[in-house]
Amino acid sequence: MSVLASRIRKGSYADSIVLMQLQSDLERLQGVMRAGVVMGSVVNLDLLRSSELLDELADDAGPEDLIIAVRAESAEAAAEALSKVDELMQRKRSTETGDFRPRTLAAAAKRVPDCRWVSISTPGRYAQAVAREALDLGCHVFLYSDNVPLDEEVELKQQAASRQRLIMGPDCGSAMIDGIGFGFTNRVRRGPIGLVCASGTGLQAITTQIHQLGAGISHAIGTGGRDLQEDVGGVSARQGLELLARDDATEVIVLASKPPDAAVRTTLLSSAMAIEKPVVVLFSGFAAPAPGLGNLRFARSLTEAAMQAVSLLDRTEPSSKTRRQGNDGYLRGLFAGGTLAHEALQMAAPFLSPLYSNLSAEGVESLPTPTQSRGHTLLDLGADEYTVGRLHPMMDQQLRIERLRQEAGDPEVGLILLDVVLGLGAHRDPASELAPVLTEIRSPEGPQIVAIVVGTDEDPQGLQSTVDQLSDAGATVYQTVTEAMDHAITHSLPRLVRSLPSIDLDALERPDAVINVGLDSLYDDLVAQEIDVVQVDWRPPAGGNERLMSILEKMKA
């Protein structure tokens, strides 16, 4: 009959790789049948229970406590195994490196005074304090730790942004800076494609497929999965985009994540569209408004994102599309065609906020008063509320002409968008009525006018004649909603993008030195890349005792 014995070490910390290897070493001892060496989280307790390694003593352990359990052939064998724990752990540490390991981050920083990066993989409960100390030292942070409370992540990223420092994480599994990998990365060639990814495995999938396609990676900036939640605001993703936009080594950017919260999605897409480089966007499961808008290309899968990024390297696209001059105002759309209005609304919704309409679409607010626009507004003037007692605007333009003058008189309006639909049954010469009004409202300080003309050269109104009249009156004319919305959205970006303080580009230079706090495996990987790494012999402050930790924090303050 087997015997189960365990020990609990309160507030004890050890590298998870060390714990795994200790478990393996214990299981090799004579008389030991199974062993478990884990922290006392709920999940780990369940695993011990299912493996018949949980006794009453271990059942009382907390998530910051180390549990060492062995099931042996006899009580003597179990006791002998537990007595060797310290010896085995010390042997593991002594064979890892002969280098001196400072006990604190500050002591480590004195050994590498020019260090710009700190890699942190402590338990989440302690990660904020370590990351905050790294920011105080002026370093950028790769924060591998998970289980960091959301409010602490928000606070850390706000601090980092105000100090012009980059935090990748928490829960950031992968990143690459100038060819040097942090966390889980692959050996890929250097090249001109940069990435900003919330997913570690997604980053690995895209970078390896780019490598297989013959191209290479400049940098791959990880953000951590919660960065794209509304509370966090996409701070790391926005910083990453801004850095890659200014980086001479990066020609094409890939932005990839699970679907962000709506407000963050709007900010990120607007930020990406303001960049004078092609950006491939992959928000898994997101219904893209078009295959491409401005400098953006939308991908539907990791493979497609990699393929599009590589294909864009061979194209030379004019950057002027993302640098249209305007007066930084709201977009107002006055449509006669309901389907055209709805398509324009779907394209605008991911980018423009606040966005109002008398049509329904995800992310669009209902306009409280049909006669008064708010923020960005796209209207179907052919809807029932506008056609009571009057003809449809395809035939009668008076309502739209009145609204044109009203919108042009609003100093907050930067661009007015309208459709002009030709063909049988429509107004016989809509441009002849619209052109004088466009000329009337045109001024250097006034809004731009963009028109979508739908028709053919065989229509009775005359396609070219219509285009010429509108153009002569000052309108920019397109024949598709996509082209017009490309123009309209990029014009509206200045109002949308709220820039963060710029980070110096030396953040993207090869990190010749890194301070590692936490997992020894991450230290080993950095050493293998010929980086000068200082490993901190980190332990929880006050042995993990909450009361003593609180007293220490007050003493520091």
Res 313 pLDDT > 50: yes
Q: Residue 429's pLDDT is what?
A: 94
Q: Residue 217's pLDDT is what?
A: 97
Of the ranges 55-64, 368-377, 534-543, the best mean pLDDT one: 368-377
Res 545 pLDDT > 60: no
Spell out the domains of the chain, with CATH numbers in brackets.
3-96 (3.30.70), 102-171+512-557 (3.40.50.720), 172-323 (3.40.50.261), 325-496 (3.40.50.261)
pTM of the full predicted structure? Answer: 0.81
Name, in order, each residue with C-beta under 8 angstroms of 531's C-beta and a sequence gap of 6 or more.
180, 511, 512, 513, 514
Q: How far is CA 258 from the centre of its chain?
A: 9
Res 463 pLDDT > 60: yes
What average pLDDT score do residues 539-544 get?
64
Q: Residue 290's pLDDT is what?
A: 84
User: 335 pairs with which residues across the strands?
Assistant: 380
Res 122 pLDDT > 90: no
Res 318 pLDDT > 90: no
Mean of the per-residue pLDDT values of the chain: 88
What average pLDDT score do residues 481-499 get?
77
In this structure, are strands 174-177 and 117-120 parallel, antiparallel, or unpaired? unpaired
Q: Residue 321's pLDDT is what?
A: 43
Res 299 pLDDT > 50: yes
Cβ(381)–Cβ(403) below 8 Å: yes
Q: In what order do the strands lie in the sheet with 140-143?
A: 167-168, 140-143, 117-120, 513-517, 532-536
Res 91 pLDDT > 90: no
- Give the angle 61-69-40 at the CA atoms, nearest 5°: 25
